[in-house]
């Protein structure tokens, strides 16, 4: 049995960890140089080497590991993983029984007690995301747990070991029967094509489920909709199925066009009646402004950070500029759906971005609705950064 490595917590951080803060950050540790092999079990200790918490060493963009328990004698072994994953599955029984939705998050990292690990279900195909080499060392236990607890078509995995969360390209198949992709999943009665074996992304972001439903049910009917940073066009599909007059999907990635055509097609929507454009979003704003184009709804869901040949976009710095560009091409009483998954700021600051943009454009607005993560994305109340999603439905009132 390996002896846990003792990490000495700086005095000002001890209370934080005693209060069950889950992320082990390098800044909080006096002796991080003792860490060598990812996956090692660590004890956080305070004054006089007093035990504070137990976790594992695993480097990712957020920190150097995660707290797993505050019980010194609790072992991080198969029974530990089985208990945590079983509890998570039990919390999501409503999703397993919902005939209109079969794509959802089964295990949400620190929100379910094990940071660095997520598990998603896509119509009986399971996808594990490993966010560090440290958590990946526990792969055998996690797979064994899934074998015991669930029935699956197959298990796939994504290794996101890079400290920036970058995907490591590898064979993603783990076990079961290799799927014929795309797998068509259901979400609130809508269809989405999913590829679990085709690079870092699978074709749909499950955390936006509630927003897609709202677009389809409440906001899209009869509207001309612009979907920016459209990826595979999931928001456009929701708008079209919700009765939108027309959708326009804009993304700089060339493969976004074929992926968006695929998503329309699996829903029986004639993609030729929609606009799917491969173009830099900011260039499109300029084009739309020059041609006096207006939309009833503009959807903004940019990456937290993106770089193209022409510009660099950072949500933390440039989001107000994005909203201002949207205001200028939104009809009076039109809607802007502003979304960000940047965890470095909260909803209050995000609302400030909206307020600043509308003030600078000398335009009034009203916030109709706001969203954060859906219920299957459980959040640790001691780690508010984990509730990263912020979405505002804003009406331009003049």
Per residue in 323-369, pLDDT tens? 999 999 999 999 999 999 999 999 999 999 999 999 999 999 999 99
115, 22 Cβ separation under 8 angstroms: yes
Q: Which whole number is the average pLDDT over 34-54? A: 96
For residue 163, is pLDDT > 70? no
Q: Identify the band that residue 310 occupies on the pLDDT scale cut at 50, 70 and 90.
A: confident
Q: What is the DSSP letter of 83?
A: H
User: pTM for this structure?
Assistant: 0.96
For residue 166, is pLDDT > 70? no
For residue 263, is pLDDT > 90? yes
Query: What does pLDDT average to over the chain?
Result: 95
Q: Which whole number is the average pLDDT over 293-308? A: 91
Q: Name the percent of the chain lying above pLDDT 90.
A: 90
Quickly tell me which residue has 């201002």 as its tokens: 324
Q: How far is CA 115 from the centre of its chain?
A: 14
Model confidence pLDDT, tens digit, residues 58-117: 999 879 999 999 999 999 999 999 999 999 999 999 999 999 999 999 999 999 999 999
Omega before residue 182 within 30° of 0, cis = yes
* Per-residue tokens: 5: 């490595």
Distance CA 158, CA 392 (A): 30
CA-based end-to-end distance of the chain: 68
Distance CA 304, CA 317 (A): 10
In order, the DSSP letters of 307-326 are E-SS-EEEHHHHHHHHHHHH
Determine which helix (DSSP H) or strand (DSSP E) holds 13, and give its type and residue range: helix 11-18
Model confidence pLDDT, tens digit, residues 226-244: 999 999 999 999 999 999 9
For residue 1, is pLDDT > 60? no
Determine which helix (DSSP H) or strand (DSSP E) holds 176, and give its type and residue range: strand 173-176
Distance CA 122, CA 206 (A): 10
Distance CA 155, CA 147 (A): 10
CB hemisphere CA count around 294 (13 angstroms): 10
Distance CA 73, CA 361 (A): 59
For residue 392, is pLDDT > 90? yes
Determine which helix (DSSP H) or strand (DSSP E) holds 210, and give its type and residue range: helix 209-214
In the chain the domains, ranked by start, together with CATH numbers, are: 5-69 (2.30.130.10), 78-188 (3.30.750.80), 205-396 (3.40.50.150)
Cβ neighbors of 371 (< 8 A, separation 6 or more) are 210, 211, 214, 389, 390, 391, 393
For residue 31, is pLDDT > 70? yes
Q: Which of 45-49, 257-261, 328-332 has the lowest mean pLDDT?
A: 45-49
Model confidence pLDDT, tens digit, residues 102-156: 999 999 999 999 999 999 999 999 999 999 999 999 999 999 999 999 999 999 9
Q: Identify the band that residue 165 occupies on the pLDDT scale cut at 50, 70 and 90.
A: low
């Amino acid at each position: 049995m390996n002896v846990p490595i003792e990490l000495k917590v700086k005095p000002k951080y001890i209370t934080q960890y005693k209060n069950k803060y889950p992320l082990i950050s390098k800044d909080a540790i006096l002796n991080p140089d003792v860490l060598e092999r990812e996956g090692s079990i660590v004890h956080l200790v305070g004054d006089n080497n007093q035990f504070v918490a137990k976790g594992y060493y695993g480097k990712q963009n957020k920190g150097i590991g995660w707290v797993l328990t505050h019980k010194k004698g609790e072992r991080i072994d198969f029974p530990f993983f089985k208990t945590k994953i079983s509890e998570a599955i039990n919390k999501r029984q409503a999703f397993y029984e919902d005939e209109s939705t079969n794509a959802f998050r089964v295990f949400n990292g620190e929100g379910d007690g094990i940071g660095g690990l997520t598990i998603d279900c896509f119509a009986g195909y399971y996808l594990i995301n490993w966010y560090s080499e440290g958590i990946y060392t526990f792969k055998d236990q996690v797979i064994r747990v899934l074998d015991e607890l669930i029935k699956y078509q197959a298990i796939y995995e994504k290794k996101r070991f890079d400290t920036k969360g970058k995907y490591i390209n590898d064979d993603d198949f783990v076990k079961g029967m290799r799927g014929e992709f795309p797998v068509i999943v259901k979400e609130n009665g809508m269809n989405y094509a999913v590829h679990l074996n085709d690079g870092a992304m699978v074709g749909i972001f499950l955390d936006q489920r509630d927003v897609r439903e709202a677009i389809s049910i409440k906001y899209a009917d009869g509207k001309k909709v612009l979907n920016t940073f459209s990826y595979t066009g999931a928001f456009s599909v929701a708008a079209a199925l919700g009765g939108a007059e027309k959708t326009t999907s804009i993304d700089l990635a060339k493969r976004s066009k074929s992926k968006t055509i695929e998503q329309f097609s699996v829903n029986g929507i004639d993609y030729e009646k929609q606009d799917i454009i491969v173009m830099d979003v900011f260039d499109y704003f300029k084009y739309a402004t020059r041609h006096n184009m207006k939309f009833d709804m503009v959807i903004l869901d940019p990456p937290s950070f993106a770089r193209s040949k022409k510009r660099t976009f950072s949500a933390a710095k440039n989001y107000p500029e994005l909203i201002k560009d949207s205001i200028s091409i939104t009809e009076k009483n039109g809607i802007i759906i502003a979304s960000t998954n940047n965890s470095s700021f909260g909803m209050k600051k995000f609302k400030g971005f909206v307020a600043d943009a509308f003030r600078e454009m000398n335009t009034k607005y009203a916030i109709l609705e706001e969203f954060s993560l859906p219920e299957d994305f459980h959040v640790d109340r001691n780690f508010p950064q984990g509730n990263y999603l912020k979405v505002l439905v804003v009406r331009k009132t003049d």
